[in-house]
Amino acid sequence: MAALVLSLVLSVVIAGALWLMIGSRLEIKEERAYNDLLNVFAYVALLIPPNFLFVFFVLG
């Protein structure tokens, strides 16, 4: 359970930093505010599996 929470927090932090560095690359919605938010959620969804593996195998 702790590994899941830690990987989720790590994914959110890395996704936020990634969004600040590269911006909104995915055009999901036409409205800019929703597009930015959905891009951050997409980055989080893409980062959860590798971060879970990192937390589980490297830190655990």
pLDDT of residue 42: 93
The two counts, helices (H) then strands (E), for the chain are 2, 0
Residues present in the chain in total: 60
Q: What is the pLDDT of residues 3-59, one digit of tens each?
A: 899 999 999 999 999 999 998 888 887 888 888 899 999 999 999 999 999 998 998
| Residue among 60, 58, 45 nearest 8 (CA) | 45
- Amino acid type, 1: M
Give the domain ranges of the chain. Answer: 8-55
- Cα atoms in the Cβ-side hemisphere of radius 13 Å centred on 51: 20
- pTM listed for this prediction: 0.83
